[in-house]
Chain A
Amino acid sequence: MHKEAAIREPLILGHKTYSDITEDVCRSIEGKAPRAWYIMFGVALLVGLYGIGCILYLLGTGIGTWGLNKTVEWAWDITNFVWWVGIGHAGTLISAVLLLFRQRWRMAINRSAEAMTIFAVFMAGLFPLIHMGRLWVGYWVLPIPNQFGSLWVNFNSPLLWDVFAITTYLTVSVVFWYIGLIPDFATIRDRAKGALSKKMYGILSFGWSGRAKHWNRFEIVSLVLAGLATPLVFSVHSIVSFDFATSVIPGWHTTIFPPYFVAGAVFSGFAMVQTLLLVLRKGMKLEAYIHTKHIEYMNIVIMVTGSIVGVAYLTELFISWYSGVEYESYAFINRATGPYWWAYASMMTCNVISPQLMWFRKLRRSLLFTFFISIVVNIGMWFERFVIIVTSIHRDYLPSSWSMFYPTWTDIGIFIGTLGIFFAFYLAFARYFPVLAIAELKTIVKISGESYKDDTAPGFGGDHPVVGSGEASPKIDPEQKPEDTIKKETKNKDTDANSDSSDKGE
């Protein structure tokens, strides 16, 4: 363990001991939920149930209850699918990519961001399933021996790649999330007073006891999973973009789609993380762990990915003209000036202009402004998918079949319903699961905690550790010689990605 450069803003504010961290995270699990939680959960559940009702109606009656027609045969269903998958990109990016880059600020947000990812991917997975119309034959997407001749699924098709990509992404994200949850469930189990909660958290914690060998394995498993999940994050949305890019529809047939979609996914995912965390930190009194610096870091990610998305929009616009293909040019002229100009304008405003405001330090450190922009970005990203999908196909090669898309109440109901189910899941998570990675935060409290950085922690810096407070004198990594420590310190000042001693025994 080494002391972090003083110039870095502390990641944990105030003075926190190990047991303070446990206490702060477990408080909301062990105590009574506030009335606001019940109200929000109730509303989310009602909306979610309405959505389930709409889905059942759709399955009972048929896809004809959606507003699709012969020309626009893909609309809100796939828009919602891509939107939700995109949102589901932030969690694993935060926990995997930021782990590989040794970014310590991820520790305060990774748990809840991963939970959000998993619930968002659930919602995404719902749309391809129900758009089959006949949910009960959903198993046809799997390559299993059957009696229809030897009719295998088509491995050349991006739609099948999607099945594999989404399944892998969902299950690997769940595993990654749960491996990290096990030690924290053990913490709750050992504190639980009621017989039922002791039993439940006992089962959830898998009998974790924190042996040295288990921690050794834990760190390698986390690191390897991060290494596996990093290319996975990029592959998933690339494959989603192939659904469009490998077709021959003008406006879809674009080689920049994979990076453009991945950047857009991270952009919208971080926006959703901001929306949820700003409420969560306030509601659960976690301001010491998720503070302005974390919000600022995430806003910088939003700004960077938002700029990539902006460049991609302008590039495809330019290339549509530069290519000299008249159908391609028309697709884009129609997007900007045709009957769906308002969707294009909202997309441009929300996704290109709004993230640029984050260049101002005052704005990106303002919580209220961040909350507002995070919602704007999510609206913008929904419009992006709508624009790409509907405006590209609503005027096809034959003007006699040009048409418009109007959503029906089933379209709207299912979309709103998935929002309800998503928030119900998330609220249940916030109530019963440790929303911060307790064990991981304990590893950084003495490196990045405010009181340890400015030497105001009781007992810290003295010779005699205060018994019971978990304090001790400043530490140097026992494996390092003093000159190593100095070297490491100077390196830290140069690079933004500081070494993260908690991730792996280097």
Chain B
Amino acid sequence: MADRVIYATYDDDHTLLEGAKKLVAQGVHITDVFSPFPIHGIDPVIGVKHTRLGIVAMMFAVTGLMLAVVGFRYFMIADWPMNIGGKPSFSLLENFPAFVPITFEFTVLFAAHGMAITYLIRNKTLPGMPADNPYPRNTDDRFTMEIRLSDNAEMSTDDLHKKIKATGIVELEEKDYVKIK
């Protein structure tokens, strides 16, 4: 049987947050929340773990830094040392002060782009991807909770509806769950 989903819509971020807390306390599992801007404090309530993208950025930064060092060591020291105004050019360490700016720029270049690309791929937000917010107004002023019936099998549908309706919603819709992406 196809999974069914309840979309409970609120017109205020705070009402949704309070509602989510109440529902979770009653044992309702909230699959996701769609909102036009970040709702602060919703993540721990609905069980969204803190992102690890910061670590990703660090890993890309280290990659960039090492690539830069390996690169200019080969170009300037190993392959073709150049005598420029008598500046030290036969050891990486002696020549390093001149390479600091590029080391920094390359580190930032890698960290920023690596993290941004990872972010877009993990979100499945890429050019041409379809959007899957249930209502167009979710990007304007409507806040929607997605509650799948398969996640709340121990509760009867009527019971679930009653619990949700008690949280100050403006709209409630139950339909077949369609996975868009």
Measuring CB to CB, which residues of chain A are less than 8 angstroms from any residue of chain B?
1, 17-19, 22, 143, 149-158, 160-161, 164-165, 167-168, 171-172, 175-176, 179, 182-183, 186-187, 189-191, 202-221, 224-225, 228-229, 231-232, 235, 239, 242, 438-440, 442-443, 465, 467-473, 475, 477-479, 501-502, 505
Neighbour of A442 across the interface among B37, B105, B119, B170, CB < 8 A: B37
Neighbour of A172 across the interface among B42, B112, B127, CB < 8 A: B112
Name the segment of B15-23, B147-155, B159-167 touching the other chain: B15-23
Contact indicator B54/A186 (Cβ below 8 Å): no
**CA gap between A202 and B126 in the complex, in Å:** 10
B18 contacts across to A, CB distance below 8 A: 478
- Whether B66 sits at the interface, judged by CB under 8 Å, is no
14 residue pairs bridging A and B, Cβ less than 8 Å apart: A152-B79, A155-B76, A155-B99, A155-B102, A156-B82, A168-B109, A171-B109, A171-B112, A190-B137, A210-B36, A210-B37, A211-B32, A224-B57, A225-B112
- Whether B43 sits at the interface, judged by CB under 8 Å, is yes
Residue of B32, B44, B46 contacting most chain A CB atoms (<10 Å): B32
Contact indicator A207/B125 (Cβ below 8 Å): yes
Q: Which 7 pairs, one residue from A and one from B, show the smallest C-beta to C-beta distance?
A: A207-B129, A18-B141, A190-B136, A209-B133, A215-B38, A206-B125, A152-B75
B107-120 vs A: 1/0 string, CB under 8 Å?
01101110110011
**CA gap between A209 and B72 in the complex, in Å:** 43
A152 contacts across to B, CB distance below 8 A: 75-76, 79-80
Give chain A nearest CB distance to B172 CB in angstroms.
14
A149 contacts across to B, CB distance below 8 A: 80
Q: A203-B128, A442-B37 are in contact. Are A187 and B140 (CB under 8 A)?
A: yes
- Whether B181 sits at the interface, judged by CB under 8 Å, is yes
B71-87 vs A: 1/0 string, CB under 8 Å?
11001100110101001
Neighbour of B98 across the interface among A156, A182, A440, CB < 8 A: A156
**Segment 20-43 of B: residues with Cβ below 8 Å from A:** 21, 32-43
Contact indicator B127/A203 (Cβ below 8 Å): yes
B42 contacts across to A, CB distance below 8 A: 212
| Inter-chain CB contacts under 8 Å: number | 240
**CA gap between A470 and B181 in the complex, in Å:** 29
- Whether B177 sits at the interface, judged by CB under 8 Å, is no
**CA gap between A478 and B46 in the complex, in Å:** 14
Contact indicator A232/B170 (Cβ below 8 Å): no
Contact indicator A1/B129 (Cβ below 8 Å): no
**CA gap between A204 and B12 in the complex, in Å:** 27
Contact indicator A469/B106 (Cβ below 8 Å): no
Contact indicator B36/A187 (Cβ below 8 Å): yes
Residue of B41, B72, B124, B139 contacting most chain A CB atoms (<10 Å): B139
Give chain A nearest CB distance to B121 CB in angstroms.
11
**CA gap between A191 and B136 in the complex, in Å:** 7
Write the chain A residue with the least CB distance to B76.
A155
Q: A152-B76, A210-B138 are in contact. Are A219 and B38 (CB under 8 A)?
A: yes
B87 contacts across to A, CB distance below 8 A: 156
Contact indicator B80/A202 (Cβ below 8 Å): no
